[in-house]
């Protein structure tokens, strides 16, 4: 279970809240100023562009509010940033997420490492050409990751498909997606990272996999702990699509 309180760092607090919403886990948010709690069941539409200038943007910066179930109102209530009636996102100051066992790598750690992966030249993946990058991260199951890759197999080099299908993964993994602003608008991704959700938050290298259309870094954490870099020959004209299996749009 995760219990988070804000607003010591309001940006990180809301990014993590949204990450768990996109992960599809039940989430209960407290409105302590009103002595009330609501169930958060989704988020608003994705905004096409950042509203402020920053070196790095997160999905939370580009998502319009939350959708909640509040027993004081009709079943579904959309709340936005700055909204006053009945309340706004800024009124949420704590949340609780019940998680499966053995998810040790925290959203705090993912938030920190995702910023590092997107802003520098790490493991040969240079994102300087897409500045400012947009970062989205969420939890998913290994089976959902494999199903997504299989459904979109036309986007991938067969060698990468084989790696994803055969790599020894735990039941749950963190996914980090890094995009340019233009790719964000189109639902596309430059780089995807798969992180071990069962890793210690203090591990130096919690990654299983990091890939784009040209190369993949693979760490066989569940096997012989070998590291390798694979050159990819993705199909001509291929793009990486945003993974949306956890929270479908309606």
Mean pLDDT by 10 residues, the chain (250 residues): 63 91 91 85 88 89 91 88 85 90 91 91 91 95 95 94 95 96 95 96 91 95 86 93 68
Q: What was the pLDDT predicted at 250?
A: 39
Residues 17 and 90 in one domain: yes
What is the predicted pLDDT for the residue at 248? Answer: 52
Same domain, 136 and 200: yes
Residues 44, 117, single domain; the answer is no
pLDDT at 1: 57
| Residues 53 and 166 placed together within one structural domain of the fold | no
b/e per residue 200-216 (b: at least 16 CB within 10 A): eeeeeebbbbbbbbebb
Indicate the pTM of the whole model.
0.91
Provide long-range contacts, Cβ within 8 A and 24+ apart, for 71-79.
72/36, 76/41, 77/38, 78/44
173 and 75 inside one domain: no
Q: Do 237 and 220 touch, CB atoms closer than 8 A?
A: no
Examine residue 233 and state whether it is found in any structural domain, yes or no.
yes
- Shared domain for 62 and 129, answered yes or no, is no
Answer yes or no: do 28 and 125 share one domain.
Answer: no
**Which of the listed residues 39, 66, 97 is the one where a domain comes to its end?**
97
Return d(Cα 84, Cα 79) in angstroms, integer. 9
69: β partners: 39
Distance CA 70, CA 215 (A): 46
Residue 250 within any structural domain of the chain: no
CA gap 26, 40 in Å, rounded: 7
Residue 92 shares a structural domain with residue 148: no
148 and 86 inside one domain: no
**Residue 248, domain member (yes or no):** no
- Output the pLDDT for position 96: 92
User: Which residue, 51, 77, 97, sits at the end of a domain?
Assistant: 97
Q: Please indicate, yes or no, if residue 247 is contained in any of the structural domains.
A: no
Q: Is there a domain that residue 12 lies in? A: yes
- Asked whether residue 128 is assigned to any structural domain, the reply reads yes
Same domain, 112 and 199: yes
The range of the structural domain enclosing residue 57 comes to 2-97
Q: Is 198 part of any domain?
A: yes
120 and 83 belong to one structural domain:
no
Do both 50 and 123 map to the same domain?
no
Asked if residue 66 belongs to a domain, the reply is: yes
* Separation of first and last alpha carbons in the chain: 28
Q: Say if residue 70 is exposed, middle or buried (CB neighbours under 10 Å; 0-12, 13-18, 19+).
A: middle
pLDDT at res. 246:
59
């Amino acid at each position: 279970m995760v219990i988070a309180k804000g607003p010591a760092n309001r940006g990180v607090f809301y990014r993590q809240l949204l990450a768990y919403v996109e992960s599809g886990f039940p989430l209960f948010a407290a409105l302590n100023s009103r002595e009330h709690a609501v169930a958060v069941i989704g988020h608003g539409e994705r905004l096409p562009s950042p509203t402020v200038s920053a070196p790095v943007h997160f999905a939370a910066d580009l998502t319009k509010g939350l959708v909640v179930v509040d027993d004081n109102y009709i079943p579904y209530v959309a709340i936005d940033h700055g909204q006053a009636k009945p309340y706004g996102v800024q009124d949420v100051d704590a949340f609780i997420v019940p998680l499966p066992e053995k998810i040790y790598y925290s959203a705090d750690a993912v938030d920190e490492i995702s910023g590092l992966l997107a802003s520098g030249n790490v493991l040969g993946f240079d994102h300087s050409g897409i500045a400012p990058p947009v970062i989205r991260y969420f939890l998913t199951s290994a089976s959902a990751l494999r199903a997504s890759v299989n459904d979109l197999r036309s986007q991938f080099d067969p060698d990468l498909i084989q790696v994803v299908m055969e790599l020894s993964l735990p039941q749950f993994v963190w996914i980090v997606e890094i995009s340019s602003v233009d790719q964000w608008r189109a639902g596309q991704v430059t780089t995807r990272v798969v992180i071990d959700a069962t890793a210690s938050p203090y591990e130096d290298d919690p990654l299983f996999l990091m890939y784009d259309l040209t190369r993949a870094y693979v760490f066989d954490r569940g096997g012989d702990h070998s590291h390798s870099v694979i050159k990819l020959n993705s199909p001509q004209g291929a793009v990486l699509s945003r993974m949306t299996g956890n929270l479908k749009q309606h």
